[in-house]
């Protein structure tokens, strides 16, 4: 009986962290999007991706077994999550990087912005919030919980209002770094004087018809 209860507890713990990670957070007045698909079958997509990429279970278990663990873009757990996120958005992709998946889906497959993965930075901040929430749940059997400060776990304290707000990303918003969205319609590999990119003193990108970056 004890063995079965232990197995059940482990499965519940894993399900908890998956649930936390796949909860979409709204991004009001921002040019980015939630880390996971905000659509009717969003959670279904996450579970299907989990079935297709069971290796990510190692990361889920680590988050529950090591409450409030440190997560960086270079740690194995985050790299597993990054690959998991890529699969959510494109089941046939061989890419491991969400940034590369974003570029491919947007520039080559014409996916709209709301249907491409988040940036690596946005995914990291979302993961940190999930790790913090999972840590609270994982230690809920303690008589007196002593969670660390949310600062550094995808949250920051507003000095004026003394309230916590999510850190969606530390990258500049798209409106402040949108040169990559400008494209020319030049037909030859050598853009002429009428090239919109040259007029703006920008280099051509993968979106340009000339493909002369």
Q: What's the rounded Cα separation, in Å, for the pair 27 and 36?
A: 12
- So what's the pLDDT on residue 18? 56
Q: Is the C-alpha dihedral spanning 6, 44, 23, 79 positive or negative?
A: positive
Give per-residue pLDDT as tens, 7-29: 444 555 555 555 555 544 333 33
Q: Report the DSSP beta bridge partners of residue 151.
A: 155
* Nearest to 64, CA basis, from 140, 2, 1, 152: 140
* Nearest to 128, CA basis, from 111, 145, 149: 149
Give per-residue pLDDT as tens, 158-169: 999 999 999 988
Q: Report the DSSP beta bridge partners of residue 156.
A: 165
For 180-186, what is the mean pLDDT?
71
> What percentage of the chain has pLDDT greater than the value 70?
72
pTM value > 0.85: no
Domain range summary for the chain, segments of one domain joined by +: 2-172, 178-213
> What percentage of the chain has pLDDT greater than the value 90?
36
* Nearest to 188, CA basis, from 208, 158, 160, 207: 208
- So what's the pLDDT on residue 183? 73
């Amino acid at each position: 009986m004890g063995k079965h209860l232990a197995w059940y507890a482990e499965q519940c713990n894993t399900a908890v962290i998956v649930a936390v990670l796949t909860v979409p957070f709204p991004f009001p007045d921002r040019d980015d999007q939630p880390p996971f698909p905000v659509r009717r079958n969003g959670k279904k997509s996450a579970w299907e991706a989990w079935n297709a990429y069971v290796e990510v279970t190692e990361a889920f278990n680590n988050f529950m077994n090591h409450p409030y663990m440190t997560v960086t873009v270079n740690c194995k757990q985050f790299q597993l999550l990054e690959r998991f996120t890529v699969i959510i958005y494109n089941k046939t992709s061989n890419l491991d990087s969400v940034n590369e998946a974003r570029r491919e889906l947007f520039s080559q497959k014409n996916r709209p912005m709301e249907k491409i993965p988040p940036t690596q930075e946005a995914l990291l901040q979302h993961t940190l919030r999930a790790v913090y929430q999972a840590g609270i749940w994982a230690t809920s059997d303690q008589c007196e919980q002593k969670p660390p400060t949310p600062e550094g776990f995808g949250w920051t304290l507003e000095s004026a209002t003394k309230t916590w707000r999510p850190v969606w990303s530390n990258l500049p918003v798209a409106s402040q770094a949108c040169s990559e969205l400008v494209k020319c319609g030049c037909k030859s590999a050598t853009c002429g004087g009428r090239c919109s990119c040259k007029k703006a003193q920008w280099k051509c990108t993968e979106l340009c018809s000339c493909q002369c970056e």
